[in-house]
Amino acid sequence: MLFNHDKASDFVKSLDLDGKGGAGSTGSSDTAVAEAVEAVNPVMNTYGRFPLTLVKGSGSYVWDDQGNKYLDFTSGIATCNLGHTPEKVKQKVKEQLDELWHCSNLYHIPNQEQLAGALVQYTFADQVFFCNSGAEANEGAIKLARKYASEVKGIAGDEPAEIVTFAQSFHGRTMATLSATGQEKIQQGFGPLVKGFRYLPYNDVAALDDLVQEQTVAVLLELVQGEGGIVPADVQWVQKLVELCKQNDILLMVDEIQTGMGRSGTLFAYEQYGFEPDVMTVAKGLGSGIPIGALLAKEKVSRVLQPGTHGSTFGGNPLATAAGLATLDIISQPDFLKQVQEAGDLLQQQLKGLQAEFSCIQAIRGKGMLVGLYMPEHAAKLVEKLRDEHILVLLAGPQVVRILPPLTVSEEELNQFIAGCKKALSQMTS
C-alpha cells in the first residue's frame, strides 16, 4: 500500500491543534500551531520524544508526516505484536463499533466473558479481571495479594502485608506500582511511597534466603526485565523462588505485561520455566494497541474479590475485548507461536553475527522477540543512527538497545534490519 503524503499533512491539519482552523484550514493555521506550541506545549512534558511524528502504520512499517517510511522494530513498546493495523483485529473492532462501544460493568459483556474464557483456557488461571493498562493490572495484583493476606492469612493491622519485588524491576507509574518498582529514578520526588514492598536483588540465589518473613504474602516479578535492560531470569533462581513460595504459602505473581502475548516465543514466558504462577498481569500486546489490561489468578486467590471490592469503568468494555479476542485468537495458535520462535532464533543468530564483527556489542540478551543489545556508551548512538537508516528501535536503560519486531516479521524484514545495523555500526566505529 502506498502512502499518500498529502493525506498525511491533511491529517495533521485536521487535528486542529490551535482550536480555530480544523479540517480544511489553510496554511496560515500551521503558523498558529507553531506559535502555540512554542508558547507552552499543551501536552505535559513527561516524555523525551524522538524528533518524529508518526501518522500511519501497516504491518512492520510506519510512516511519518513527511511521507518517510520506517521499519518499526519498537512495536509501540511490545504492544503491536501483530504489526500495525492487523486486518483481523481491525475487522472485529469495526464490527463491534457498529454494535455497542461501552455499557459499564453493571451488565454482562459477551466479548469480555469470551476473552476471559480464552485466557483461562490457555493459561494456569481460573479467573480474569479486566482493566485498561499494565499499571492498573499490577495495581489489581497488589490489591488482590493484600486482600488475600487479610482474608486468608490473617495478616491485618498496622503492619501491612509485604510484597517482595526486585532491583531494576518495572511495574508501572501509579503510586502502588511505582512503589513496587525497584528503581529509585522512577520514585524520586513522589514520596511517601506506598508501604509494604521489599526489594531483593534479581537473579541472586543466595539473596533468596531473606525472601520469607512474617508479613510476606507475595512475590511480584518479571521473567525478563524489560525497562530494566532486557535481563532474563535464570532458571535455577526461578526454581528456588518457586520452591520457597510453595513451601511458605507465598503467592507467586508474574508481571507478563511486556513478556506476554507471544513476545517471549511462547504465549506467556512462565511456560518456559516449567511452573505455574498464582497470579499474572497482562496488558501491552493484549489488544494490539487498543488499550486493555488483565489480571489473571487461580480461584483460590481470586475468590477473595467479591462484588464491590475492585472495579473499573472502562475495564473489559465491548470494544477493547473485541480487540483482545481477535488478537489472542491469532497469537495462541501453535503454528503462529512456532513461527515466532523460529524468527526469534534467526534474529538472535543474525545478531551474533553482528557481534562477531562489532565488539561494541558486549552481549545479546532476551527471549524470542524481546531482545537487547548490551552496548554501554554506544546504545543511544545506535538508536539514532538506525533512525537515519529508517529503522526504529528503543533503549532499555542507557546501555541497552531494545529490539521489538512485530511477531509477524518476515525474513526479508529481518535481513533489512541487520543490513541497516551493519551500516550504522560501521559508520559509528570508523
With CB under 6 A as the contact rule, the residue among 172, 260, 318, 405 that binds ligand PLP is 172
Q: Is 285 helix (H, G, I), strand (E, B) or coil?
A: helix
Q: How far is the CB of 380 from ligand PLP (least distance, A)?
A: 20
- Give dist(CA 372, CA 227) in Å, integer: 11
Q: How far is the CB of 259 from ligand PLP (least distance, A)?
A: 7
Number of residues that bind ligand PLP (CB under 6 A): 15
Report in angstroms the alpha-carbon separations of 210 from 199, 250, 327.
10, 13, 40
Is 429 marked as a binding-site residue?
Answer: no
**How big is the CA angle at 427 (ends 422 and 429), to the nearest 5 degrees?**
95
Strand partners, 47: none
Q: Report 227-286 residues binding ligand PLP (CB under 6 A).
A: 227, 255, 257-258, 283-284
Is 342 marked as a binding-site residue?
Answer: no
- Give dist(CA 93, CA 101) in Å, integer: 10
Is 265 marked as a binding-site residue?
Answer: no
Burial of 374 (0-12, 13-18, 19+ CB in 10 A): buried
Report the residue number, 141 or 424, with the smaller CB distance to ligand PLP.
141
171 lines the binding site for ligand PLP (CB under 6 A): yes
- What nine digits make up the cell of 108? 454482562
Is 313 marked as a binding-site residue?
Answer: yes
- Give dist(CA 364, CA 402) in Å, integer: 10
With CB under 6 A as the contact rule, the residue among 70, 73, 129, 170 that binds ligand PLP is 170
Is 239 marked as a binding-site residue?
Answer: no
Closest-CB residue for ligand PLP? 134
Where do we find the cell 511480584?
220
Q: Which of 6, 285, 312, 278 is nearest to 129 (CA)?
A: 312
Q: How far is the CB of 226 from ligand PLP (least distance, A)?
A: 4
Is 348 marked as a binding-site residue?
Answer: no
Q: Report 381-420 residues binding ligand PLP (CB under 6 A).
A: none
Task: Note the residues at the interface with ligand PLP (CB under 6 A).
Answer: 133-135, 138, 170-172, 222, 226-227, 255, 257-258, 283-284
- Residues belonging to the binding site for pyridoxal 5'-phosphate are 134-135, 170, 255-258, 313
